[in-house]
Chain A
Amino acid sequence: MNQLIKVENLQYIYNENMANEFIALHDLNLTIHEGEFVAIIGTNGSGKSTLAKHFNALLLPTSGSCIIDGIETNSSDKLWAIRQKVGMVFQNPDNQIVATLVEEDIAFGPENLGVPSDEIKSRVDNALRAVGMEEYRKHAPHLLSGGQKQRVAIAGALAMQTKCLVLDEPTAMLDPQGRLEVLETVKNLHKRLGITIVYITHFMEEAVEADRVIVMKNGSVLDDGAPRAIFTQVKKLKELGLDVPLAAQVAYQLRKTGIKLPADIITDEELVVALCQSF
């Protein structure tokens, strides 16, 4: 499969050569293929957001390289091509709204690219449909709920015909309903449109939905694998200061008391089934 994001020996230093110099990313290597759904977890300050900002050239490597769909991010003439390929959605929905109507907000990106207006219209229509927000096209974005705002932000990226969506804790500010809305939207885009997803989160029950989970620590990749492989390492994740899905935690503690349970339980469903078989 096509390597959409390729990071090689990436190092990033904030305030280089100053008293408060801080190495945020150390010699990091990572490849994300087209069509993957990757979750990135790690504590605050582990470098997740710094890494994510390299994916659309908001930050450029201090050393090493970040290649997006074959383009090096530090080739400054290709900046717009890169940003078109990789769309970003941030944590706070209120910081990403630029227009007074939902449809204008979504049209903002393609308008700036000089896309013809018929084309913009169809892109906006498609983007609204993809995030399930058609009926809100004439609404004022600042009056929407948090989950709806994030879906508008996602639609804005889709209107750029982005290949890859990078979402940096998109649900941190949302209530349970909003979190579900955003997660379902993202899963849908991945499944139906084949958009590559990079999803940074502190909610492990969201990370479980990805095909692949990357664990970051101190600016490096500590672990990289399928959710089941990652989240069954309860002790290790706890030591890192991360959560595991509740079912994995309960199964882990039950096993410690001597109850025989499969080692790979990560969802409530699996735990319920396993426990029912044990009596």
Chain B
Amino acid sequence: MSIILKNATYTYMAKTPFERTAIKDINLEISEGEFVAIIGHTGSGKSTLVQHLNGLLKPNQGMVMVNGVDLHQKGEAAKAAKRRVGMVFQYPEHQLFEETVYADIAFGPKNLGCPEEEVDKRVRRAMEFVHLDFATYQDRSPFQLSGGQMRRVAIAGVVALQPQYLILDEPAAGLDPCGRDDIFTKLIDLHKKTETTIILVSHNMDDVAKMANRLIVMHEGEISLDGPPQEIFKHTEALKAAGVDVPQVTALLNRLKVAGLDIDEHILTVDDAVESIVASLRRKKSC
């Protein structure tokens, strides 16, 4: 099972002076169980790309298939396939609308026709997933929560749909470091426990490098790099061209290497970096 884009091209405002091709002839397969991060500069086409994955945008050319079903054919099969893909937009808190946190999260599963108990179960599970205490928050108005809490309610609303593929467009923008780590830990958890495929859109390398097992770098509407994080960060030039930073840890280790310290600069976490620096200093001292 997978999501496949075949020769997908999308042009905004075609045949007007504002015409702009946002993605060009994209071929991509995302398989069930992957944890993929799509990164790129503003305007690189990453948001346009992911809006194809659940059929929100229809490619001008090419096709999108979810689990083998063409999303843009007519009929029930395509509708069901679209439901497999859940999407958390940028600033999802702008889409909150219900009077209570509970009602907002329950809205999706109710619409899917879930029975009351199932809805309740899903709401509780989703709230637990985003770390919102059920008793404290279920009756609160979502509009009187802090920005980070609102974000979590909105994410819970999509998680409650239990999609097979979960797309999140910049889920951590505007969250404090704690909220950010929290969301990411929960995503890793969800990925591990339920084998939900996670597709994350971000421009922050630091965030995604540690989590994803596959990175896709977008540049001017095309895929410029695609592979495991350690591989991607070796392509410093291509990353620079795409306007994407290497993670701060990598940047720091690069500087140390230039300064003469013998270390592996393809390290992605602070702990590994510290270990590598210590080992390198010891080697220096012993010779």
Contacts and interface: CB of A to CB of B under 8 A. Distances in A.
A279 to B, nearest CB: 4
Nearest to B203: A175
B243 A175 contact: yes
Contacts of B273: 250
Contacts of A241: 176-178
A268 B176 contact: no
Given A175-B203, A242-B178, A279-B261, 16 more contacts: A15-B144, A44-B149, A44-B178, A91-B174, A172-B174, A177-B243, A178-B42, A202-B174, A202-B180, A205-B248, A242-B177, A249-B270, A254-B277, A268-B251, A278-B281, A279-B281
Interface stretch (A2-10, A100-108, A269-277): A269-277
A10 to B, nearest CB: 19
A234 to B, nearest CB: 11
A224 to B, nearest CB: 19
A173 B174 contact: yes
Contacts, number: 108
Contacts of A174: 42
Contacts of B43: 145
A259 interface: yes
Given A175-B42, A272-B256, A45 B274 contact: no
Given A176-B245, A177-B42, A250 B277 contact: yes
A133 B270 CA distance: 38
A250 B270 contact: yes
A253 B176 contact: no
Interface string A163-205: 0000001001111111000000000000000000000001011
B270 A253 contact: yes
Contacts of A175: 41-42, 203, 243
Nearest to A241: B178
Which among B148, B204, B248, B251 has the highest number of chain A CB atoms within 10 Å?
Answer: B248
Given A44-B175, A176-B245, A257 B278 contact: yes
Contacts of B42: 145-147, 174-175, 177-178
Interface in B134-163: 140-141, 144, 146-149
A76 interface: no
Nearest to B277: A254
15 contacts: A15-B144, A20-B140, A42-B176, A44-B148, A45-B146, A145-B43, A173-B90, A175-B243, A176-B245, A177-B41, A241-B177, A250-B273, A259-B278, A272-B255, A279-B281
Given A177-B41, A253-B271, A275 B91 contact: no
A44 B179 contact: yes
Interface residues of A, number: 43
B173 A254 contact: no
Contacts of B244: 176
Nearest to B152: A44
Which among A146, A259, A279 has the highest number of chain B CB atoms within 10 Å?
Answer: A279
Interface in B228-275: 243-245, 248-249, 251-252, 255-256, 259-261, 270-271, 273-274
Interface string A29-59: 0000000000000111100010000000000
A243 B207 CA distance: 13
- Which 5 pairs, one residue from A and one from B, show the smallest C-beta to C-beta distance? A241-B178, A44-B148, A45-B146, A175-B203, A172-B174
B15 interface: no
Nearest to A145: B42
A172 B248 CA distance: 17
A246 B274 contact: no
A127 B157 CA distance: 43
Interface string A205-248: 10000000000000000000000000000000000011100110
Contact of A45 (B91, B149, B271): B149
B74 interface: no
Nearest to A174: B42
A92 interface: yes
A94 to B, nearest CB: 9
Nearest to B182: A241
A261 to B, nearest CB: 10
Which among B41, B178, B204, B261 has the highest number of chain A CB atoms within 10 Å?
Answer: B178
B277 A275 contact: yes
Contact of B284 (A49, A243, A246, A279): A279
B285 interface: yes
A80 interface: no
A202 B140 CA distance: 26
A224 B256 CA distance: 32
B277 A243 contact: no
Nearest to A257: B278
Nearest to B243: A177
Given A43-B176, A145-B43, A253-B271, A20 B141 contact: yes
Contacts of A146: 42
A271 B252 contact: yes
Given A176-B245, A279-B284, A242 B174 contact: no
A169 B174 contact: yes
Contacts of B179: 43-44
B259 A254 contact: no
